[in-house]
Every structure is written in structure tokens, then in C-alpha cells.
Amino acid sequence: MSPKSFIILGFLTITTLVAAVVMVANDRVLRPVAGAGDPAIEGLLQKANDIGAITIEHNAGTIALTSGAAGWAVKERSGYAARTVKIKRSILSLAQLTLSEPKTRRTEKFAKLELQDPKTPSAQSKLVRLFDRAGTEIGALIVGKRRPGFAGTINGDLYVRKPGDTQTWLATGDADISKKSIDWLERKIVNIDAKRVKRVVLRHPDGEVVTIIKTTPEESLFALDAVPAGKKLLSAMEPTTIGKALVNLVLDDVRTAAAAGPFEAAKTITAEFSTFDGLMVRVRLVERSGAFWLTVEASGNHADAATITARTKGWVYRIADYTASTFTRRMKDLVEDATPKSK
């Protein structure tokens, strides 16, 4: 074969290969993967306002969220109020998820994408089922690992799988589906602005009483009432910390009063908050097995009393240890010797 013929043959070979690649690429463009572009949960966007219940199945159990006349509630917490805003946001996020790219069908690869059967021990997946108000299932989806977006962007994607189907997908969008009940609870117990608080009285079961006061709403700092002789405040901020104890008081868990049982008088601390505008809030706190639980009662000539009572009556709340420490303050925690003792 002459050099000229060899060059021509090589050129034709390259041309043929390029043409083949172009044909394959065009074929892929013209023939998209079946299902790509479809909603992850068919029809959910049109029925988003009709959702009456949601279940989230995971390897440690099931979270059931139900909607009623009083709003959304968490069944596993005896029907305590749920975070309605979070639930609505999650429904909308699920409705907007779009299948974009098919992934593995190999079941041994599911764990990497967090798309195993949720009942599998150590599985990180969540099976979300959505029902209408009549109890009819509208749709279901196994939600897996989130894939962060590219650097500099706020968008990400989510790995998903339809129940009973081995085809996994990367879906465009995101959905915050937690398998922790606390993330679905309405965590706010009360929120009393410290400006309103006039007096706080802490009563310990051994008879010790700590009282802090403020003479006008405009004052920013509380004072310790009756500083013991020979003592001075450790810090001017210490009494104020107590005065702010009901600012955004939140729960870590909740039980019914019946399930929690009565508080033992010999172990219960009582904190009484009086406001300038006629509200009285009484908090009772007890420590059990290393955790702090409290009840909240409201009274007085103020509209907030009825609102707080409606939310808290019949419930016992677990709070964080650092929050509880505010209610457990004693005089020794607030003062020190005015004159240092000689060595």
C-alpha cells in the first residue's frame, strides 16, 4: 500500500469513528431515558393541599404526622403539636422533586446511596408515605442521600427510589425528611419578653428562696433582692439570666402529664414569674434519671394566660441541661464574699 493510500484510509477510518460517535450522541439526545423529567411522586403537586397524614418509616420505627381541626400533630408524642411550617415545606419539596438521572439497579449498591429498605438494620433511608384526608395513599418515596450542589451554588440533588422498584434515581431538588421526632415537634413552650418580667421567685424544696426584681420595664438588668450581709454579686448579669429564663423556652421532648407521673415535692423546684402587665407563669422543675422535666402554668389578668394554658396544660416537657441550670440557681451561685477571706 502506498503512503498516499494509507493516509486516505486512515482519514476515512477517523471520519467513520467520528460519525459513529456523533450518531450515538444524537441517538442519546433524541431518545432520553424513560422516566427522566417525571415527578418523583406523580400527582403530588396537584394534591399537595389535600394531604391529611404523613408517615416516615425508618430503621428505628415510624413517625406519624396527622392533620386535624387543631392543626398538625405528632402521633408518637401523644398528638402533641407539630411544626406546621416544616411539614408544609416538606410536602412542597417532595412535590417538586423531579427525576433527572437513573442510577444503579444493583441492590448491593443501595446502602451507598442510603436507599436500602428502611427496615434494614443500620439503614439510613426513609420511606415517606403521604395520604389524603380520607386515608387514601397519594404517593410514596424512599428518600436517600443528599448530593450537595457545585461549589458556589445553593442547590443540591437527592437520591431516591420508588418502593418496590430497584431503579434508583438522582432527583433534582431537595427534601428535609428527618427521622427524629423532635425535628417535627413544635418546640416553643413559651416566649416571655424579659422587658415584661417584674419579679422571679425561685423556691427550692429545702426551703431556700431566691428572688430577683426589676422596678420598671425599661431597666435592662435585674437585681437580686436582699443580698445577704457580707456578700456581693458575682456578676451583675447573673440575676438577669434568671429574668430571661422564659425567653424562647423550648423543649427537647414532651410527654403527657399522666405518662410522666406526679412530681415529687421533695425534689421539685418552683419558679414564679410575675410581669408588669398582670401575667403570672409558674414553672415546676424536677430532675429524673439525669434529665430535667418541667410543667408550665399561667394565670392572671392577661390574654396570654389563656394562650399559654391552651398550649401547655396536661403536658410535661424535657428541657436541655443548660436551660434547666437557670431554674436551679441558688444564692451561692449568685454571690461571693464582699471581702476576700484572709489566707
**155 within some domain:** yes
Q: Looking at residue 95, what is its pLDDT?
A: 97
Residues 116 and 220 in one domain: no
**2 within some domain:** no
The span from the CA of 140 to the CA of 163, in Å, is 7
Residues 192 and 319 in one domain: yes
**59 within some domain:** yes
The span from the CA of 24 to the CA of 220, in Å, is 73
Boundary residue ending a domain (162, 183, 204): 183
Q: Looking at residue 148, what is its pLDDT?
A: 77
Residues 97 and 56 in one domain: yes
**199: Cβ contacts below 8 Å, ≥ 6 apart:** 211, 212, 213, 214, 272, 273, 274
**95: Cβ contacts below 8 Å, ≥ 6 apart:** 39, 41, 44, 45, 48
Boundary residue ending a domain (152, 183, 214): 183
The span from the CA of 112 to the CA of 103, in Å, is 12
Number of domains in the chain: 2
Residue range(s) defining the domain that contains residue 158? 44-183
Residues 157 and 266 in one domain: no
Boundary residue ending a domain (183, 216, 234): 183
Residue 221: HSE in the Cβ half-sphere, 13 Å Cα cutoff: 9
Q: Read off the pTM.
A: 0.84
**308 within some domain:** yes
Q: Looking at residue 151, what is its pLDDT?
A: 46
Q: Looking at residue 188, what is its pLDDT?
A: 97
Q: Looking at residue 33, what is its pLDDT?
A: 75
Query: Kind and range of the H or E element at 223?
Result: strand 223-224
Residues in the chain predicted with pLDDT less than 70, given as ranges, are 1-32, 149-156, 341-343
Residues 123 and 53 in one domain: yes
**5 within some domain:** no
Residues 159 and 207 in one domain: no
Residues 225 and 303 in one domain: yes
The span from the CA of 249 to the CA of 256, in Å, is 18
Residue 127 CB neighbours (<10 A):
20
